[in-house]
Chain A
Amino acid sequence: MKSFEFFEPTTLAEASRLFAAEHAQLLAGGTDLVIGMKALTETPQSVISLQKIPGLAGITTEADNSISIGAMTKVREVELSADILQHHTALAEGAAEIGSIQIRNLATVGGNIAHASPAADTVAGLLVADAQVHIASADGERTVPINELFTGPGQTVLTPGEIITRFRLPSPASGSHYIKHKIREVMDLAFIGVAAAINMDNGTITEARIGLAAVAPTPIRATEAEELLKGNALTPALLEQASEAAAAASSPISDLRCSAEHRREMVDVLTRRTLEQASERAGG
């Protein structure tokens, strides 16, 4: 690991100022950054730890039933949170898929998102929760919907000095589910991640969200499939139609782990399965 200057600011303003400098990296849980620095794929001149800044960790339920997850909240806490499990099951299921317990005790949800891997396991759950990403900088605060955060693999709309502070999940879905397509039970990266969240009223889908990970340069929402579902009952024919639309929305690559054709086919299959499970949970 190359040497770097280490900072442990106690305010967001100070962290933002330091992070705006050239060759600066933020340190949250360290599970990506420390490994990257050892491999010399990351060679920052300054490392800014966020752990001494108060108020960045923890899960709170607001009066309007929205849930706020601090960016420095450990992935393991998201996985075990009763509120997340109940209202945003897909996110809790995604969190539980990351690495091992030892890694989830270190990794943060903010880090998982800011790293901007298209295969991040918390991203599909946050997409179907319609999460709002709260971002702070020296210029103040702004909010970006999570489906507008990513611009490419490892790339986001964040500008130098901007720091993700929390995720606000506005309204609980009545049923959601996440499936990770993988080979190993644990300690594996997603070939594909699919999440679905559904609200139902008397057998009719009133709201449907589908989030896809690892099948495009960024995580995406399958909006055409969502539109097909809204206002209808989840018949086998509609399920098939929506799953095919989700597969059509993907633009996967072929790599050592999986071919593009297989990925696209599996988006179809897994969208069907997640929708079935989510609608069951929604009471459909």
Chain B
Amino acid sequence: MAKLPVSLTINGDEHDLLIEPRKTLLAVLRDTIGLTGTKEGCSTGDCGACTVIVDGKAVTSCMVLGITASGKEITTIEGLAGDGELHPVQQAFIETGGYQCGFCTPGFIMASKALIDENPDRTEEEFRHALGGNICRCTGYTKILEAVLKAAEEIRTTT
């Protein structure tokens, strides 16, 4: 199958690529661009490990054909920290120990960032429910939730 041109803005950088239409956005990010921070877990949309932010919305990148992301703004875990400073959500995950093996962490951080951007005033129960699409197989949910609440608090008070 012929490759088609696609123009993706990833973490602020423009990438003009030729890709096969059957490549998922996840595969383009990891294999074509080399941004391996985004993880492939189930690859059926169930685990959230591949969560990235497209035009401000958290999506499971394993369900998106890369070709359909042309012209869109994509943020991955590699694009969160700026000027040598971690994003408050990243910092909170470190401070609370919101990770064990770390495989689900990029997905959790991207999903949490989008949730906090949308509404940092969610209750603990609401955050728990809204993160239902992210799975941690180490079952480290208590610390993950602590991290999300800490980051939301931090972002609420500084903005």
Contact = CB atoms under 8 A, between A and B. Distances in A.
A99 interface: yes
Contacts of B130: 101
A186 interface: yes
A5 interface: yes
A38 B44 contact: yes
A116 B118 CA distance: 32
Interface stretch (A10-18, A26-34, A53-61, A83-91): A26-34
B18 interface: no
Nearest to A106: B59
A49 B66 CA distance: 12
Contacts of B77: none
Contact of B21 (A6, A35, A185): A6
Interface of A: 1-6, 8, 27, 29-31, 34-35, 37-39, 47, 49, 51, 76, 99-103, 105-106, 184-187
Nearest to B44: A35
Contacts of B44: 35, 38-39
A186 B45 CA distance: 13
User: Most A CB atoms within 10 A — which of B45, B48, B64, B114?
Assistant: B45
Given A101-B111, A101-B130, 10 more contacts: A6-B21, A6-B65, A6-B67, A37-B22, A47-B21, A49-B65, A99-B45, A102-B45, A103-B63, A187-B46
A34 B69 CA distance: 14
Given A100-B48, A101-B111, A4 B132 contact: no
B58 interface: yes
B68 A102 contact: no
Nearest to A29: B63
Contact of A100 (B24, B43, B133): B133
A1 B1 contact: no
Contact of A34 (B24, B57, B132, B134): B24
Given A38-B43, A185-B132, A27 B115 contact: no
Interface string B1-21: 100100000000000000011
Contacts of A4: 1, 21-22
B51 interface: yes
5 contacts: A3-B1, A5-B21, A35-B63, A186-B133, A187-B132
Nearest to A74: B57
Given A35-B45, A102-B111, A5 B1 contact: yes
B1 A106 contact: no
B115 A101 contact: yes
B69 to A, nearest CB: 10
B60 interface: yes
A37 B20 CA distance: 14
Nearest to B51: A102
Contact of A49 (B51, B60, B68): B68
A30 B64 contact: yes
Nearest to A188: B132
The 5 A-B pairs with the shortest beta carbon distances in the complex, nearest first, are A100-B133, A186-B132, A6-B21, A3-B1, A105-B57
Given A3-B1, A100-B48, A102-B111, A34 B65 contact: yes
Nearest to B22: A1
Interface in B29-58: 43-46, 48, 51, 57-58
B15 to A, nearest CB: 18
A146 B134 CA distance: 33
